[in-house]
Amino acid sequence: MIAFIIRRVLVMVPILFGITFLTFAIVNLVPGSPVDSLKLNPRTRPEDIERIKRNLGLDRPWHERYFVWLSGAVRGDFGISLSNNTPVLDRLLGVLPNTLLLTGAALVTALLISVPLGVLSAVKHNTAFDHAVTVLATAIASIPSFWLALLLILLFATQFPAWGLPGLPVNGMRDLRGDSGLFDRLEHMVLPVASLALVQIAGWTRFIRSSMLETIRQDFVRTAYAKGLPRRIVLYVHAFRNALLPLVTLVGLAIPELFGGAYLIEQIFAWNGAGRLTFQAAQSNDYPLIMGATLMFAVLTMVGNLLADILYAVLDPRIRYD
Amino acid sequence: MIDRSELVSSESSAAPRARAGQAALELERVSRRSPGFYQRAWRIFRRNRVSMVALGVVILIIAFVLGADLVSEYITGYDYRRGELGEQFKPPFTDGHILGTDANGRDVLTRLAYGGRVSLLIAGLASLTIVVVGGGVGAVAGFFGGPVDAVAMRLVDVLLSIPSLPLLILFASLYRPGPVGLAFILAAVGWTGVARLVRGEVLSLRERDFVDAARVLGASNARIITRHIFPNVIPIIVVWVSLAIPGFILTEAALSFLGLGVKVPTPSWGNMLQGARDYYTRSWTNVFIPGFMIYITVLAISLVGKGLRDALDPRLNE
């Protein structure tokens, strides 16, 4: 197991090199540079622009700059953000908790809803309830998350107040005027988390349903029935635990999806997260910030997948990595 | 190909034709004994009522967007570019605007047709590209193995480790592409799935006896890949593409929604949503309609894809 983890971490190293190299190439091979916006001001002299370029190291060829960046990154120095002169690492670490809060809450919400729904749907196989869940899950799985977010805003932020009901906030993470207690923060989370979670709920419910259906056909379930255990125990203790195993992998795979979704949702709800920051960085040609953010998302994704694999082995003694 | 339906129908006519009818029945019997792979797949697909309805919806949507000029000419009578500023935010079914007007007073139904054309063409072009690039890389990697395989699969690993939407945003905001460029960017980020799938399939196919047989007969590598392996990979590619197109439609819409995809004045469902977003308090139909089109299209195509998977995946048919 230890050997497996070490090997997996070692495999991550060249992949990370690949990612940084690729991103650096993409960012630097496009026409346009961070100093372009300075040229818009007719009073800026060309020699000043040259000087700024030299100071930023932009006058050197990009492969040379890649190694400069890489040698810094290896030592934990990801450079200075071009847009506001703050270290990239500080900017990223400043917004990362917000993104983790959003995606984490969506993940937990999705699990809390989809697991019971999926299991119940399988237990009540071929009943009206099962059919309703299956149809709903199929219908919801195709909803674009950003459209859903807009519809939720329409309903809860404009229609509810119009009907005299309390509306939900749609901007930012907390009320900037008030003292913003826990309730206020929770209130701000409802709509973004719901937009992010709903599509996952649909997918996972279907998955858990089929996993549970497969499990209750297995021999150990029949054995459990045969030795006289009540149906409730067999289903919700014996079968349930085994049906949940594949979910670990699925959750691991969903992590990049959640981060991707967070990009859009953060943008719509003005949530001060890493996705929104990366979006701004891409818009303003902020090379160091783009590099740092891409690397961070890649590391988070890989660590998520690794954790899923390890957890799977811990939970399922049949799995041995060696 | 013999048109069987014609032969069979001739059986019921006058006596001199009886022998021809007999022959036709014989033909029918023989051909029914071993229907082709795709014939059988179509039979399975046809039995799936949900997928058939979805196929009908997809065909309707395609007709609607390809007939955008006709919609503009005969149904709405409005140009998709021209708006009357006095006619902003008309609700549906007023003054001949069947679905109302947008923030610039342009007819929504007309723009929906043109926008859909852009959205669907981008998804189609992107799918075609990933089949060529991903399928090609996967086939070569799986067939030759060794260092070629190792290099290609490490590249796939790298691309799969980056969440795709951030990468797309990066590409799209740095290169500011047009619709065709956008399709290629979607393909550049999305080809890895097909490559991995095709590689796995080719790995198992190349060990089969018919490949050895072809080699014994003196077939070259190129011939084995194109004539013997490729036809066997088509079904899974078809299934994969039908399930990938909804993803491309969604991603294009998301990028256009962020202002990074299709640029105004060219309409797309995504940028229609973006345009409506700022005015959601003035007109909810403008927010609802383009998103609903995206939703229905994505849903219908994925249901067709599911039907195709059930019909074409031999592992499920056994």
Of A54-58, A182-186, B47-51, B259-263, the range with the lowest mean pLDDT is A54-58
DSSP string for residues in B143-168? HH-HHHHHHHHHHHHHHHHS-HHHHH
The contact set of A with B (CB < 8 A) is: 14-15, 18-19, 22-23, 26-27, 30, 32, 138-139, 141-144, 146-147, 150-151, 153-154, 158, 256-257, 259-261, 263-264, 267-268, 275, 278-279, 282-283, 285, 290, 293-294, 297-298, 301-302
Burial class (CB in 10 A: 0-12, 13-18, 19+), A249: middle
Query: Are A302 and B161 in contact, with CB atoms under 8 Å apart?
Result: yes
Task: Read off the pLDDT band of B18 (50, 70, 90).
Answer: low
- The contacts found for B91-95 with CB under 8 angstroms, 24 or more apart, are B91/B283, B91/B285, B92/B285
- Which residues touch A163 (CB under 8 Å, ≥6 apart)? none
Which value does ipTM take for this structure?
Answer: 0.83
Please say if the pLDDT value at position B5 is more than 50: no
Count CB-CB contacts under 10 A for residue A270. Answer: 14
Task: Read off the pLDDT band of B6 (50, 70, 90).
Answer: very low
Write the pLDDT tens digit of every residue in B133-171: 998 899 889 888 889 888 888 888 777 777 777 788 888
SS3 percent helix, strand, coil of chain A, rounded to 5, is 75, 0, 25
Distance from CA of B291 to the nearest CA of A (A): 6
Where is A93: in which H helix or E strand? helix A88-123
- Give domain B37-311's CATH superfamily: MetI-like (1.10.3720.10)
Query: Are B126 and B255 in contact, with CB atoms under 8 Å apart?
Result: no
Which residues on A lie below 8 Å from B298 (Cβ)? 142, 144
Instruction: Indicate the Cα dihedral angle B279, B285, B287, B292, nearest 10°.
Output: 180
Q: How far is CA A71 from the centre of its chain?
A: 28
Look at residue B63 and give its three-state secondary structure: helix
- pLDDT value of position B27: 60
Angle between the N-to-C axes of helices A240-268 and B164-175, in degrees from 0 to 180, rounded to the nearest 10: 20
Q: Which residue is associated with the tokens 């009901």?
A: A165
Q: Splitting chain A (322 residues) into consecutive groups of 10 residues, what average pLDDT does each group show? A: 84 85 82 71 80 78 84 85 85 91 93 93 92 91 90 86 78 71 83 91 91 90 92 89 85 82 87 88 84 86 84 79 62
- pLDDT value of position B315: 59
When the pLDDT of each residue in chain B is averaged and rounded to a whole number, the result is 82
CA angle (A285, A286, A287) in 5-degree steps: 95
Q: Cα dist. A37→A25, A32, A65, A287 in Å?
A: 21, 9, 21, 14
Most confident of A43-57, A132-146, B77-91, B257-271: A132-146
- pLDDT value of position B317: 44
- pLDDT value of position B318: 36
- pLDDT value of position A129: 94
- Choose the mutation target among A62, A142, A299 for the interface with B, i.e. most B CBs under 10 Å: A142
- pLDDT value of position B104: 76
- Choose the mutation target among B155, B173, B248, B310 for the interface with A, i.e. most A CBs under 10 Å: B173
When pLDDT is averaged across residues B212-229 and rounded to a whole number, the result is 89
Which residues on B lie below 8 Å from A275 (Cβ)? 166
Measure CB to CB from residue B281 to each of A141, A158, A293 and give the nearest one: A158
Torsion region of B259: left, alpha or beta (phi above 0 gives left; psi -120 to 50 gives alpha): left
- pLDDT value of position B31: 54
Provide the token pair at B169: 């945003």
**Structure letter (DSSP) for residue B260:** S
Task: Read off the pLDDT band of B13 (50, 70, 90).
Answer: very low
- pLDDT value of position B287: 86
